[in-house]
Amino acid sequence: MIRSVTQDETRTAIESIARLRTAERAADAGTRSQIASARRFLERLVGPTVRPADAARVLGVSRPSLKRWIDKGEIATVRTPTGRREVPVSELVSLLEELNQTEAREGRPLGRVLRERRRRAEEGVDIDRLLPRRRSRDHRVPELQALAYHRLVAERLDEKLVEEARERLSEWREEGRIHPTWEERWRGLLAQPISRIAEILSADTKAARALRQTSPFVGVLTEHERRRLVRAVEERAAS
Amino acid sequence: MAGLVAAARVRELGAQAVVFEKGTRPGGSMLLSSCVIWRHRSWDELRAECAGGDERLQGLVWERLDGAIEWLESLGAPVVAPETGNPRTIGKRFEPTGLTEALVRRAGEIRLGAPLRDVDGPLVLATGGFQGSRELVERHIAPAAPLRLRANPWSAGDGLRAGLARGAALSAGMDEFYGRNMPDAAFTEAEFVPLAQLYGRFARAFDENGEEFFPGEVSWSENDLVQATARRPGGRAWYVLDEAALEQRVRERTVAEMVALAPTAVAPDELPFPAPPGARVAVRVAAAITHTIGGLRIDDRARVLRQDGTAIEGLYAAGVDAGGIATGGYASGLAAALVLGLASAEDAVH
């Protein structure tokens, strides 16, 4: 980069990423991988997170409104290496995609999208369905969280999610974020039919537990869903 | 590291902390380490490997580490490798100077050259173990003593003594330690990591009398071989290597490259016993202690415990001063320092 990205460019890039993601879902395999490479270029340009002020512009809301939603936990934030609270671009993109679908209607669209998301998350996560019936002493809470997460992913698994997981493995290899041993194991699994992948993602075995510790299926659930799941498992473990 | 982490977390929670640092610089043994902070990938494997350790403490470190590493990163600690390089473990490698600086920025007041002393209010013992005390090593780790020191010189059991004086109990595994076999020659702090002879799994290990003393499989951390070496005459061993062994790789280096750095490498005919067939080179190594594994007994809030299991009011131990986590095997000392530092701070403030 010879200069930093301006605020307007950030907004345009994030809007483009959201539109490209929507287009990817409708496209055939060949077109999809071409759209994906353009999307990834934009994602690298923008970086993983943006400041709340930029997020408010992208979502078309005031900064106090955004802050209210962040404080209520309706919009996820993460802490950056410099200690600031920022909004993940993936969160903005998923909100924008939903906003684009409701845009034609009247009222305050973001509020409605968030309400809808809350309703879905509450209905969608039936924690008892996602966990082993009997909890043995060997199960640690993070292992149960990863199991519940992947069982939910398995229910939604399709070719596109598998392809995205493969792409993420390639990115991680380039960035040195995954040990070659685990990259190979995941590649081997992702070459299997969807039903088999779903079976291993949901398996409560030693080998599957170790595999799920470094999973290319991160980011498949929205941050809101993921946090709800994590809390639900913690609550169940404490009871 | 544990002391800096505790102070940084105390201040983040809105309370005040003072760090008494006996040495001339902050950072303890963390600053001299390769700075990989890790946990076992699999809980089952941790339990199998460190079977003598306290399961609750192991669970605390194992469950909290990923979040704790994120917390370190949020302080601006520089990551040099986002992955450990070991398929059995999960964690990150930090740059030790940058990590120390990031913690020092948050830790508030640090008094250098100031040994542990009585204070009003909660006290976190984080003096880094007792490997720097010849007397304590001799008492607890015998017959291994004296061992070469591969750590900062200030971690000499001040925390252990202070805890015992207030009625603390000792943990399991007081005779165990984590260390590396180093060339049996003088080495400096800067050589702790590059000179470590971490290829024992490819070598045949003989003691001074020519007895092959570790015929079984060496664990991946090689800590079992190092502890066995410590218990041979003089705490020494000869690593004898054949052609195939020299070609093996450990991380980014070949065994031949690691041997080339050792000032105690000799030709097989210079061995004090008949060389085994196929030997190409031999290296005289000595067990060096990085940190003790036994220490004060604590609970999962890092509170120091008495023999009857009750907690001593306002007294905590974190990092190597807390014992009984990796007993029987080896688990990341920095991970225990980080998680127990956080846990002690949180309990002390609340």
| Rounded CA separation A36/A57 (Å) | 25
**Contact across the interface for A140 and B81, Cβ inside 8 Å:** no
Work out the minimum CA distance from A228 to partner chain B, whole angstroms: 17
| Rounded CA separation A62/A227 (Å) | 25
| Rounded CA separation B261/B189 (Å) | 15
Q: Indicate if the pLDDT at residue A2 is higher than 60.
A: no
**Could you tell me which residue, B36 or A36, shows the higher pLDDT?**
B36
Counting DSSP H helices and E strands in chain B, the numbers are 10, 16
What whole-number percentage of chain A has pLDDT above 90? 36
The single-letter DSSP state of residue B170 is B
Work out the minimum CA distance from A169 to partner chain B, whole angstroms: 14
Q: From residue A65, how far is each of A60, A87, A101, A116, B242 by CA, in Å?
A: 10, 14, 21, 17, 70
| Rounded CA separation A54/B209 (Å) | 72
The amino acid present at A196, given as its one-letter code, is R
| Rounded CA separation B135/B148 (Å) | 14
Q: Indicate if the pLDDT at residue A106 is higher than 60.
A: no
Average pLDDT over residues A137-142: 77
Set of chain B residues whose Cβ sits within 8 Å of the Cβ of A144: none
**Could you tell me which residue, A97 or B266, shows the higher pLDDT?**
B266
- The interface pTM score, or ipTM, of the predicted complex is 0.79
pLDDT tens, position by position, A150-185: 999 999 999 889 998 999 999 899 988 999 999 999
> Are the C-beta atoms of B5 and B321 separated by less than 8 Å?
no
3-class secondary structure, B246: helix
| Rounded CA separation B273/B257 (Å) | 25
**Peptide linkage before B215 cis (omega within 30 of 0):** no
Which residue on chain A is closest to B69 by alpha carbon? A81
Mode of pairing for the β-strands spanning B89-94 and A85-88: unpaired
pLDDT tens, position by position, B94-135: 999 999 999 999 999 999 999 988 888 999 999 999 999 999
Query: Which ranges of chain B have pLDDT less than 50?
Result: none
| Rounded CA separation B26/B19 (Å) | 9
The amino acid present at A160, given as its one-letter code, is K
Question: What residues of B are in the A interface, CB distance below 8 Å?
Answer: 41-44, 59, 62-63, 66, 70, 73-76, 81-87, 90
What pLDDT sits at residue A1?
Answer: 43
With CA atoms as reference, report the closest residue to B184 among B273, B67, B96, B263: B263
